[in-house]
Structure 1
Amino acid sequence: MAAKASLKVKAKGKGSKGSSSSSSSKYELFKDWTNWSLKKAKVATHYGFIPLIIVLGMKSDPNTHLFQLLSPV
């Protein structure tokens, strides 16, 4: 597998000192938090989707058992 390249946003130009560095760090913090939360949501969705469908199927109006939900007939 190829290694992932990390993208870093750096302030360019004359106004790179001062308040723009704090806003850049806030942006980096927001971007890192968003990426972390989306990765966790992806894992939760991946492992939780089929159990959710099974639980919803077991609580449906005609009460079904787990074997009835999983059998092909």
Structure 2
Amino acid sequence: MASKVSFKGKGKAAAKGADERSAAKCMKEWSTWAMKKAKVITHYGFIPLIIVIGMNSEPKPQLYQLLSPV
């Protein structure tokens, strides 16, 4: 009763495909992470950026003049 042993080696082609899938998954995760961070930075940084640009323009307004609706 000899059992038949079969080796299903991945080989170079299968290993390369696994690496490509892994790299694609890593790239997708990284881009998702980066977009989430960019969204938060944009959300919380837009108003301060406008205030800083307004403070450095000519004529130089006071902070309350920038924040008042009139």
Asked if TM exceeds 0.5, the reply is: yes
Q: Deviations over 1:22-73 (max 9, x none)?
A: 1000000011001001100000000000110011001111001110011122
Larger Rg computed on CA atoms: 2
1:56 lines up with 2:53 in the alignment: yes
CA RMSD of aligned residues (A): 1.3
Normalized per residue, the structure richer in helix is 2
The percent of aligned pairs where both chains have the same amino acid is: 53
Q: Give 5+ residue unaligned stretches, structure 1.
A: 1-15
Larger relative contact order (C-alpha < 8 A, sep ≥ 6)? 1
Displacement over 6 Å in runs of 4+: none
How many residue pairs get aligned? The number is 58
